[in-house]
Structures are given as C-alpha cells and as structure tokens.
Structure 1
C-alpha cells in the first residue's frame, strides 16, 4: 500500500510541476513588445497640489497623454478611453496614468481636481498634472508627441491624440505592425487602438 501511495503522490507532484513551472517561467518572460528608449523624466504638480515626478511611477506600467481640460474636440474621447483603461485595471496598484495639461494657465490644480471628479478618476496613480508651459511643451517634444498653441484652433491649442505606454522600468514600449515596424504610440481616439493598448498593458503587468 505504501508503494502505491508513493507512486500516486509522485504522479500528482509531476503533473502539478508540469502545469505550474511553465506559468512561473512565463511570468518572468519579457513581453514581445518593442523598446523605444527611456521615457523622459518629469516633475510636475498634480490635481492635489502635490509634486509628482516620473519616479512616482517606478515599478508601474503607465500611460501618458497630453491634453487640456477645456478641449472641445478630441480630449473628451481620449479621457473617456483613459477611464476605460482605469476601469479595466481597477484595483491593480501597478497601473497608473499620467495626464499632462498643455494649458497650464487655466488648468490649475484646482481646475484639474474638478475635471478629475467629473471624469470619475478613482485610480490613486492617475495624476492630472500641470506646470510651467515651456517645460511641458519641451517635455512633449522629448516624448515626440505634438503639442502647440494655435489661437485659430478649437480651444486655442493643438495636440496629438496619442498615448505613450511605459513599462515598469521606465521604458517606452509598443507593438509592431505586420511588417515588423514599431507602432510607436496608440491612438487614444480609436477604439481598436485602445483595445491593443489594453492587451499590451496586460502583457507588461505580467512581466
């Protein structure tokens, strides 16, 4: 009887090991997403009046956007898609969002606080940030994301609707197109691109 019990126990351990080990190994594999360099360092003020730097996102996967609260065109779509991402990863303390205003004169911490409340921001690491205008525009250039002042544009500003994806180690990451070329950023106004982003966030959270 003891011999049979030993055989069964060995069999169970073997099967368990075959099932678990690949999962453990996979957990520490790097996602098949391209590395596009280190994300620029930043230091800004959030909706609570606190100084936030890129170091606050260390160890987290996060998404960066440049927007402004009174934007009448693409920003409402971008922000609602950010809410979808927030809700998809709700409760995961390793996920964050960096929303950086390109209208710092009007987007004071108090104004951003109201905007965050209206949107339903619940993730404690979703910081809506403001600061010196020149600093913010220079930061956008470092990200290679277009921003600009244009009195003739709706709302007085222009910017891309793109989201940047940053991994836990502070690297900009992205997927490839069918030819193996990087799709550097994710269109924050496009439903399919947001679904891609959601998939890729999951991959980076599992790294």
Structure 2
C-alpha cells in the first residue's frame, strides 16, 4: 500500500513538473511572477525622462469648491497637482495632512502651473461655506487650491474606485469617517504618477503624514513641472 502511495505522489509531482514548471520559468524570465490588475496597468507604461512611473489617467470628477465654483478634472489640465481626501472636522490625521499640504503649497506658491484638490469625504457637513472658513483656518493662500464638496456616495466612488484610496463612513471611530493619509500626484496631462521604492516597485501614492513622503512628492512635483 505504501509503495502504491509513493507511486501516486511521484506521478502527481511528475505531472506538475511537466505542466507548470515551464510556465513558472517563463513568467520569471518575463518578470510577471507577481501580477494583478493595478500591477499590470503600471507595468504597461514606461518611465518618462523624470524616472516617474505612469499609473494611469486620473478618474473623472466634477465637484464644487470653497468659492462655489464648479471644478472638474479638466480644470487642472496643464497643471501638476496633488489630490487628497480629508474632512474639516477630522480629529486625527487631517490636521497633520493639512500642515504638510500647506508646506507643499508654500513651496510652489505663485506658480500658476501647480494646484491642489482637497476632496471632503464628509460633504454633508463640509459645504462650500464651511470649506471656505476651513481654508482660512489652515492657511490656504493659492487660488489653485480647491477644497471640494459634492454628493457623498459620488465622492466615495471617486476615492475607492477611481483612485483606489480608501475612504468610508464608520460611526464607531472618532469623527465618524475613515480614510488614508495618502497624496496622489497628477501630471499636466492628467495622469497619476509616482516614483519607485528601493526594490524598483511603484509606490503608487505618497505618505501625506510623514515628512519623508512630503519631501518625496515635493521633489517629484518639481520634476513634473519641468517635464
């Protein structure tokens, strides 16, 4: 019985080797051993002169800013800009994100080819009027920094399906909403761009909570402005 079992196992191993090992070797040679929808999308684009990766086009959006103006993704064409998701009453990470975004604003203040889109995930509270006061509070000076509001479910779709950056409502957490502290970098043609990590993988988005991430996105904004 044991001999038969060994023969059976040996047969399975032999079949696996014949069928699958050549495929695995081919995938290793082609660099596709790890693959998914987003990785596929990124890998199909070559780095530009800046060395930054093109992830794909920014999702279409149409929202209202702190001045009541209609703002959409086409508003930013010809500009390098940063996108974040936040809400004005956020008690945790948003104040840090606000301070870091103000630093980015100040670095490029006066440059007409740079902008910021801060999209509220609590638009029912964050009306244009509320966002205008919030803009004054955090130090918004640039006319190209738009704090945006609109329909909540529409904004969640932009965040979760458009950018693949998590944003959601959770009554069990302080503030009632959850979101990442990530910043997205968009080039003049409306493409999401990023640098690579130390292993050569696209980072996709920049850490808006750490000075290291702010320094990195500031450097890459300068590259894109000169592209």
TM-score class, shorter-chain normalisation, is 0.7 to 0.9
Aligned residue among 205, 221, 224 for 1:185 = 205
Runs of 4+ aligned structure 1 residues displaced above 4 Å come to none
Aligned residue among 173, 182, 185 for 1:162 = 182
3-state SS of the aligned residue for 2:198?
coil
Q: Distance in 2 between matches of 1:78 and 1:120?
A: 13
- 1:203 is displaced (CA, Å) by 0.3
3-state SS of the aligned residue for 1:98?
strand
Q: Distance in 2 between matches of 1:30 and 1:129?
A: 32
Match of 1:109 in 2: 128
The answer as to 2:214 corresponding to 1:205 is no
Note the residue ranges of structure 1 that are not aligned, 5 or more in a row.
Answer: 1-28
What does 1:52-201 align with in structure 2 at a 5 Å threshold? Answer: 52-141=71-160, 142-201=162-221
- 1:39 is displaced (CA, Å) by 0.6
- 1:117 is displaced (CA, Å) by 0.7
- 1:101 is displaced (CA, Å) by 0.2
Q: Distance in 1 between matches of 2:145 and 2:168?
A: 24
3-state SS of the aligned residue for 1:70?
coil
Q: Distance in 2 between matches of 1:172 and 1:30?
A: 15
3-state SS of the aligned residue for 2:81?
strand
Q: How many residues align?
A: 179
Q: Distance in 1 between matches of 2:200 and 2:131?
A: 39
Q: Distance in 1 between matches of 2:129 and 2:61?
A: 20
**TM-score with structure 2 length normalisation?**
0.78
Q: Distance in 2 between matches of 1:111 and 1:30?
A: 41
Higher mean C-alpha deviation, range 29-38 or range 81-90: 29-38
> What are the Cα deviations for residues 105-145 of structure 1, in whole angstroms up to 9, with x where unaligned?
10000000000011111111100000001100000011010
Note the residue ranges of structure 2 that are not aligned, 5 or more in a row.
Answer: 1-47
- 1:30 is displaced (CA, Å) by 3.0
Q: Distance in 2 between matches of 1:168 and 1:30?
A: 14
Q: Distance in 1 between matches of 2:199 and 2:133?
A: 44
Q: Distance in 2 between matches of 1:163 and 1:43?
A: 19
Larger Rg: 2
- 1:38 is displaced (CA, Å) by 0.4
3-state SS of the aligned residue for 1:155?
coil
> What is the RMSD of the two structures over their aligned residues, measured on CA atoms?
0.8
**Using CA pairs below 8 Å that are at least 6 residues apart, which structure has the higher relative contact order?**
1
